[in-house]
Amino acid sequence: MPIKLEALRCFVHVARCGNLAGAADALGRTPSAVSMMLSQLEQHIGAPLFESDRKNRLTLLGQMTLEEAERAVTTYEQSVAAIERHSRSTAGTVRIAAVPSASMTLLPNAIAQFRRMRPDVRLEISDVDSAAVFRKLELDAADIGLASGQVPPNLEATELLSDPLGIICHENGPIATLQGPKTWAALALETFIGNGLCTLVEEPEVQARLLASPLTVLNTTTLLSFVRAGLGATILPERALVADRGPLRYVQPTGAVFKRTVLLVQQRDRRPSPATHAFREALMAVARADAGT
């Protein structure tokens, strides 16, 4: 007889609570029912999962079993949640996780185009950094991601746009007021604020400053607020200033041009819902139009 999912869920709760009573409360069962289910699981496996009847310390087998049980329970719960999302509405919901620069540029036009075609679809937008975009997709907490950087192997990506990176600084700072052409060496004039895109600038002095930077900020909105406050300069595409340039200035250094690429990222092995597919097509259309301007 195969191991039942409910038995694995029971074991996970007991292992995390460290006692039968706490697990019983979490599961809405009596302690005796939890104890019986746990005993049946151990009998099926053929070895104890806990070192004593107190259930507060796992055996080595119990530790390995817990890892597999948590994976199985999480996968099941994610699948159930996806089914319930689709059942709540015939139109569906599209969950989008995007880096701020994409949220400010690509998403508004894509949403406007999509809403004209599918006004009945609910859109949920998360404004996060690239690493968080990948995590959300891997955990099935997002259907579509807009990000930059190295994509995990269990995700697939399509290039949407590519634009050059430059220096973002305050208009009254020494970089912006420097006369004549500016190179990447101008970053030495201000405190350098690192971010994830800086690694794309393959200039030795930039990488040295990144390693020595006293401040690293992953969220673009926060990063721009720091530069706006005069705390230093950073590296971003000019597109990051599309919403509110204010006292910030974009400087394109002379010499080699380094670009960042915005990727449309999705789960590799999960078939997208019709609503997700339609929103993907809207994003692609906006990106093609943007590239043509």
**Residue 15 contacts residue 58 (beta carbons within 8 Å):** yes
Longest dimension (CA), the chain: 80
Cα separation of 70 and 9, whole Å? 8
**Which residue blocks in the chain are alpha helix, DSSP H?**
5-17, 20-27, 31-45, 60-88, 100-117, 130-138, 204-212, 220-228, 274-292
Query: What pLDDT is recorded for position 171?
Result: 94
DSSP 254: S
94 or 269, which is more confident?
94
Of 91-95, 97-101, 129-133, 158-162, least confident by mean pLDDT is 91-95
Query: What pLDDT is recorded for position 207?
Result: 93
pTM (2 d.p.): 0.61
**Residue 22 contacts residue 34 (beta carbons within 8 Å):** no
Cα separation of 238 and 157, whole Å? 23
Query: What pLDDT is recorded for position 273?
Result: 86
139 burial class (0-12, 13-18, 19+ CB within 10 angstroms)?
Answer: exposed
Residue with tokens 């509110």: 244
- Check whether 290 has a pLDDT greater than 80: no
Confidence of residue 125 (pLDDT cuts 50, 70, 90): very high
Query: What pLDDT is recorded for position 101?
Result: 76
Of 76-85, 107-116, 187-196, 270-279, least confident by mean pLDDT is 76-85
Query: What pLDDT is recorded for position 259?
Result: 92
Percentage of the chain with pLDDT > 90?
63
Query: What pLDDT is recorded for position 271?
Result: 83
Across 128-256, where does the E strand assignment appear? 144-147, 155-170, 193-194, 215-216, 234-237, 248-251
Considering the chain, what is the average pLDDT of its residues?
A: 89
**Residue 173 contacts residue 232 (beta carbons within 8 Å):** no
Residue with tokens 């995990």: 152
**Residue 144 contacts residue 265 (beta carbons within 8 Å):** yes
H-run or E-run covering 261? strand 259-267
DSSP 281: H
- Check whether 172 has a pLDDT greater than 90: yes
Distances (CA, A) of 178 to 81, 171, 172, 218: 55, 10, 10, 27
Which residue ranges form the domains of the chain, and what is each CATH number? Answer: 5-87 (1.10.10.10), 88-160+261-292 (3.40.190.10), 162-259 (3.40.190.10)
- Check whether 91 has a pLDDT greater than 60: no
Q: What tens digit of pLDDT does each residue of 37-59 get? A: 999 999 999 999 999 888 889 99
* Residues in contact with 149: Cβ distance below 8 Å, sequence separation at least 6, in sequence order: 130, 131, 196
Residue with tokens 């404004």: 127
Distances (CA, A) of 292 to 114, 158, 164, 226, 261: 20, 18, 16, 33, 16
Most confident of 9-23, 99-113, 212-226: 9-23
Cα separation of 11 and 136, whole Å? 26
- Check whether 168 has a pLDDT greater than 60: yes
Query: What pLDDT is recorded for position 165?
Result: 95
**Residue 155 contacts residue 130 (beta carbons within 8 Å):** no
Cα separation of 98 and 184, whole Å? 28
For residue 54, the tally of other CB atoms under 10 A from its CB is 10
